[in-house]
Structure 1
Amino acid sequence: PAFGRDASVALLALMLGLKVLELKTLRDAVVVSCLGFFLIITDFLYSQTIPTAGFTLFIMAWLIATLISCQDRAGSIGASRALRNAGTLMLQAAPLMVVMFLLFPRVQGPVFGFPVATSSGVTGLSDSMSPGSLSRLGLSDEVAFRVQFRSAPPPARKLYWRGPVLWDFDGRTWTMGPIGSAGSGVVRHASLSKAVDYTVTLEAHNMRWAFAIDLPVAAPRETALTSDYQLLFDRPVRNRVRYDAHSDVDYRYGADEKPAALARALKLPRGYDPRAVELAHRLRDTSEGDREMIERALDYFRTQPFFYTLEPPALGRNSIDEFLFDSRRGFCEHYASAFVFLMRAAGVPARVVTGYQGGELNPLGHYLIVRQSDAHAWTEVWLSDAGWVRVDPTGAVSPARIQVGISAAVPSGEPLPLAVRGNIEALRRLALTMDAVANAWNQWVLGYTPERQLKILESAGFSQASWQTLTVLLMVAAAIAVGVIAFIALRRLRRSTEDPVARVWRRFCRKLARLGTERSPAEGPLDFAQRAGREQPLLKAKIEAIAGLYLRLRYGKHADEKDLASLRRLVQAL
């Protein structure tokens, strides 16, 4: 947009730069420093990571130190002391900041939420798939989403994270086409195993879909379930979101699929890939039923010299023919596309499903990391006695891709990201540690939603807290925090202005008083020391040494810091 984030930040930076050019007086320096606070906070409009927060705190400390130096007309405070004072001020403000963060009434969505300036998904998955579109994602180690399971996670071979479902094919590209709605948001299916409960933290990808283990039982909050079992938000995901999901990993569904949907799952463009059509007819003629034909098609991938690679060659107009009979080198989208084409040409309804498969378990936080490199495409075929059945032809060529992950399937010479390859254990552990810290930051700082705030208040005994309750709690907690900070600051101020020699002497007098020798208010230090020596003969030498140092520090001309340190040690040891 013409008047958005970038234009506003650029205008603020320009104003600050112009103000620096006319810097003449002390007031101008103060104004520039104050404008700097507004400019540095704009960093969070672009990134809310831990390094960004650390950089912002450092610049804030520097600006506060600058303001302190501006008030030092005599020049008695150096740069290092000004920075120390700035750090002290920030530490004093930290308790109030924590109180404000925890108790200030939250609003839905992040404070710094701006649309992503791109029309394509950040993760790379889109509503279409063509040769090479998913293999490019295999070169990225960026996180697509993280998953926290409430119990033991399913095995990797069952972790199919369902995303866009592609129906329409134009000879080269698969697309979603019109999106239907399930209406009730509940899947009509038969569960064959215990369901899995988990929480997904999805990174921004500027598209509407959410990801869930195949098959999502019901639509999470703020999502809808389509007729082909995609989870869709009501608007593009432009900020990190968190949702709870519930899935069955073993199921049966779709036996009552509508005839219109089955007809759509059989459509193919005319005049494309004649060799693939001939192969499909041959498979149909030599098979006794749909199931046997599916197995024969998978056997074709197993027995022919197909190769799983991140670097497939470019394909021409008849991309299916060229892949099946000429190059035989491809990524998951090549195998899924070719298999669905064969099924449709043989009269079996089929469609392409894209999403992610597998993930890496982080033992430090006990959660699953699903990266862009885990992007995957598989197929669903419709059988009259079973409904929609998942078939993954990639597993016929590279079983390691499904059972272990992409790092075990791709040859070592191909350009897989180092974090995904994981062959250097020290770097792998470092990457997992950094991700665990980033995940904690995302969950407890950036993901501190109104729901999480209410849960914390409920655990503290404030159930169903309203904004009025939050306001009262905020004021009380803020008053307590300010009171404690003021008490500590005033106590330190009193100590800093008090004569250190007198403070040590009073401590000496208190120690003797506990032993039964109390100093009279009118008694001088020498008389008191002589009387104390008589009453405490075992301590006479130490009392005289302490009194002598005190008199030297108080009235002598050549006393120094070493004498004060010696006095402290003697009183401490008394």
Structure 2
Amino acid sequence: MPSLRRDQVGWLLAGAALTLAPHAGHLPPAISALCALLLVWRGLIAQRGSRLPPRTLLVVLAAGVVGSVLLEFHHFFGKEPGIALLAGLLSLKLLETDSLRDARAAVLLSLFMQLGQFLYQQDMAIAALALLGTLASIGTLLALQGRAEAVAPRALAALRLLLLALPLMLVLFLLFPRVQGPLWGLPADAYSAVSGLSDNMAPGDIARVSESAEIAFRAAFEGDPPPPAERYWRGPVLTRFDGRTWRPGPSRRHGQPFYRSSGPAYPYTLTLEPHNQHWLLALDFPGPAAGLAYGDDFRLLSREPVRSRLRLELVAHPATPVGLDENPRTLQEALKLPPGFNPRTRALGEQLRAAAGRADDIPALAIRHFRDSRLAYTLTPAPLGRDDVDSFLFDTRQGFCEHFAAAFVVTMRAAGVPARVVTGYQGGEINPVDGTLVVRQSDAHAWAEVWLATKGWLRVDPTAASAPRRIDGGLAAALPGSARLPLLARSDLPWLRALRDRMDAVNNRWNQWVLGYNPARQRELVASLGFGDTGWQSLIALMAGGCAVVMGGLTLWALRRVSTTDAIDRSWLRVCRRLAAAGHPRQAWEGPSNYASRLAREAPEAAAGLAPIAADYARLRYGPAPADAALLKRFHHSSRKFRPR
């Protein structure tokens, strides 16, 4: 097999680098550094014209890559170790690649690695990076099968091929039968990178979630959204407490809401990012929705973990009274406190119970006590002791929302009022570009629910007593200037917020119309085209027809390009026509040099001056390097002046 030219190696390295660069944020630093060193080494070999390393050394390096992956992950099965192993092997492959066959194998491996990017994210940035890597891979294939050429023309040729593929890609995207969910089983760690709330809560957990500016979900309301004080998006409901960690209690599922909705209705479309959990983070309290489940604790639940972006049409009724006929076992669970923990808070609860005229007054007395205690709202509270609620209420008096909610619920239970912690998100920010309500991880929040015999379950947010701006303006308003706030959540950088809003609006369009193109939307599109409600057989027939139309159009375009001659061919054909008119036609199998040689033997007078014209045409059409202007000018001038005798 022939050795690779320097430009071919350059394209291989560029394609591999553009493929591996997006993975650098997910790969272990040692693997990323090793891949970079191997690519640089291969580039130096090509530049200096040195020999490739011996096979023995490559085997040792391969063992080192395998060992590094095993040391980092302790196994080879799964998304993370699999991608890391492929990255190392791709870099090593280039160190043994000096033939067209191996080079094509490396290109195929690069294309496979570009698909691996979508196991982490599917946003527009990742799609653009994958497209750039694909462009480099196509340019590499062109370089492997053609002569040496400058980078810009080669890249333009690759881009032209990508553009030619767009119509076929569009047909396949629109008409290929959509399958809700993955086509194959993903590895167990495929969703390890998702962020969000956990199904339990300990001091500091929500504060860590709030340091992220990632989008948790979006909501597009048909009319005006509810006021900020009603924007509580329910997640895990935590009833059991062991002295430090809050966990969910027992809960049954219902196929329909088991409460009667009342009060103002807010219809909206929820676009939920994947978080690998069952809860749907709906606004209190959702009305009937097909295919969903309703928990005893008023959560809206999916029947399967949310592992891909989910779009739901919902209606919320925040003023609905709930829990008036609550199960006694649930109320007993909501009164339990672990023995031996937080004695001062227990004493506070007993004092409030003694001071209150009736049970309904106890929550308001507790809120007044929290406000009078001047508790500070902060992302960086002081360390707490074993009795963390006591330490927060009576010693440090600094905490985040989970400290406020946990302390309030413990106080309520000590006072004999059933209570529990609810975690989720509070607030959100209207994007002025597209009008959607964007809720980020920095909006993660914890609040309390208390049960009163005359009113059922009521939401009480003790954080609002100390930081009311958290409810009205979000985390940035409650903690202005905090260094731990996410950069994109800062309120003191208006230009950055404007840029973020525009990017979010564009990403939302991408999510809705590209990533959100599900079977229901496909059926709507096909129906709008006049084909009615079609099954997968009809979709395949439509797809085949669409592909046939596209391929037919491309074929006609290609045939037209073949039959259309350029200026060089037109000048040469003019010479051939004049010779044919003089009785010396060119045979179909004859090239320019053979034609000139034959006429020089058979009709030297008629062929006078033909040899230099044929030689110039051969250089212009088949030469190894681009023609210069002088040669081109001479050829056209000679062909016009040529007259056979």
Q: Same fold (TM over 0.5)?
A: yes
Q: Please give the alpha-carbon distance, in whole angstroms, between the structure 1 residues aligned to 2:369 and 2:489.
A: 30
Alignment-mate amino acid for residue 425 of structure 1: P
From 422, 425, 435, give the equivalent of 2:494: 425
Residue 472 of structure 1 deviates from its aligned partner by 1.7
Pair 1:229 & 2:303 matched:
no
* Structure 2 portions without partners, runs of 5+: 1-74, 575-580, 582-628, 637-645
| Number of the residue aligned with 1:536 | none
CA shift, 1:233, in A, is 2.4
Q: Distance in 1 between matches of 2:396 and 2:459?
A: 26
Provide the C-alpha distance between the structure 2 equivalents of 1:362 and 1:398, rounded to a whole number of angstroms. Answer: 24
Structure 2 counterpart of 1:242: 311
CA distance in 2, matches of 1:385, 1:258: 15
CA contact (8 A) 1:220 1:243 kept: no
Which amino acid is 1:197 matched to?
A: P
SS in 1 for 2:270: strand
Deviation at 1:220, TM superposition (A): 5.1
Relative contact order, CA 8 A, sep 6+: which one is greater?
1
Distance in 1 separating the partners of 2:170 and 2:308: 23
- Residues 1:52 and 2:52 are matched in the alignment: no
1:391 Cα deviation after fit: 1.0
- Structure 1 residue 121, shift from structure 2 partner: 8.6
Q: How do 1:71-150 and structure 2 match up within 5 A?
A: 71-72=145-146, 75=147, 77-110=149-182, 114=186, 117=189, 122-150=194-222
Match of 1:181 in 2: 252
Kindly provide the amino acid, as one letter, of the partner of residue 262 in structure 1. L
- Conserved in 2, the CA contact under 8 Å of 1:192 and 1:252? no
CA pair 496-341 structure 1, distance change in 2 beyond 3 A: farther
Indicate yes or no: 2:278 matched with 1:278.
no
Q: 2:356 is matched with which residue: 287, 291, 300?
A: 287
Aligned equivalents of 1:346 and 1:495: distance in 2?
A: 91
Q: Determine if contact 1:218/1:225 at 8 Å carries over to the other structure.
A: no
Q: Does 1:353 align with 2:425?
A: no
Cα 1:473–1:143 shift into 2, 3 Å? same
Partner residue, 1:538: none
Label 1:32 to 1:199 Cα distance change in 2 as closer, same or farther (>3 A): same
| 1:147–1:199 contact (8 Å) kept in structure 2 | yes
Q: In the alignment, which residue of structure 2 is the partner of 1:400?
A: 469
Q: Could you tell me whether the CA contact under 8 Å between 2:217 and 2:272 is conserved in 1?
A: yes
Distance change >3 Å, CA 476–CA 406, structure 1 → 2: same
Unaligned ranges ≥5, structure 1 = 506-521, 523-556, 565-574
**Residue 204 of structure 1 contacts residue 241 of structure 1 at CA under 8 Å; is this kept in 2?**
yes
Alignment match, 2:59? none
**For residues 190 and 418 of structure 2, what CA distance do their matches in structure 1 show?**
35
Partner SS state of residue 252, structure 1: coil
Partner of 1:441: 510
Matched, 1:208 2:278: yes
After superposition, the Cα gap between the structure-2 partners of 1:434 and 1:110, relative to the gap in structure 1 and judged at 3 Å, is farther
Give the percent of matched residue pairs that are identical in Structure 1 and Structure 2. Answer: 45
Counterpart selection for 1:309 from 378, 383, 391? 378
- CA change 1:228–1:97 in 2 (3 A) is same
CA displacement, residues 498-536 of structure 1 (integer Å, 9 cap, x when unaligned): 668789x9xxxxxxxxxxxxxxxx9xxxxxxxxxxxxxx
Check conservation: 1:356, 1:377, Cα contact below 8 A: yes
3-state SS of 1:139 partner? coil
Could you say what secondary structure the match of 2:179 adopts?
A: coil
CA distance, structure 1, for counterparts of residue 99 and residue 261 of structure 2: 77
Deviation digits for residues 375-410 of structure 1, max 9, x if unmatched?
A: 111111111111111111111111111122111111
Q: Is the contact between residue 110 and residue 239 of structure 1 (CA under 8 Å) also seen in structure 2?
A: no
C-alpha distance after superposition, 1:158-216 (max 9, x if no partner): 100001101111122211133x22434313135122x2222222222222211100112
Instruction: Give the distance between the partners of 2:190 and 2:337, measured in 1 at CA.
Output: 32
Asked whether the 8 Å contact 1:169–1:175 carries over to 2, the reply is yes
**Equivalent of 1:369 in 425, 430, 438:** 438
**What do the CA deviations read for 1:203-260 (whole angstroms, capped 9, x no partner)?**
2222221110011223552x32111112232333233222222210111011111111
User: Structure 1 CA distance, aligned partners of 2:568 and 2:98?
Assistant: 41
Counting only pairs closer than 5 Å after superposition, residues 321-332 of structure 1 correspond to structure 2 as 321-332=390-401
- Distance in structure 1 (CA, Å) of the matches to 2:283 and 2:149: 61
Q: Tell me how large the CA RMSD over aligned residues is.
A: 2.9
Q: Secondary structure at the match of 1:198?
A: strand
Change (3 A) 1:184 1:475: closer
Taking a change above 3 Å as real, the CA distance of residues 479 and 278 of structure 1, as seen in their structure-2 partners, is: same
Contact 1:121-1:207 within 8 A present in 2 as well: no
Report which stretch shifted further, 310-319 or 491-500. Answer: 491-500
In structure 2, the CA distance between the partners of 1:432 and 1:26, relative to structure 1 (3 Å rule), is same
- Mapped to 1, the partners of 2:185 and 2:442 lie a distance apart of 26
- Is this contact kept in 2: 1:120–1:207, CA < 8 A? no
Q: 1:332–1:118: structure 2 CA closer, same or farther, 3 Å change rule?
A: farther
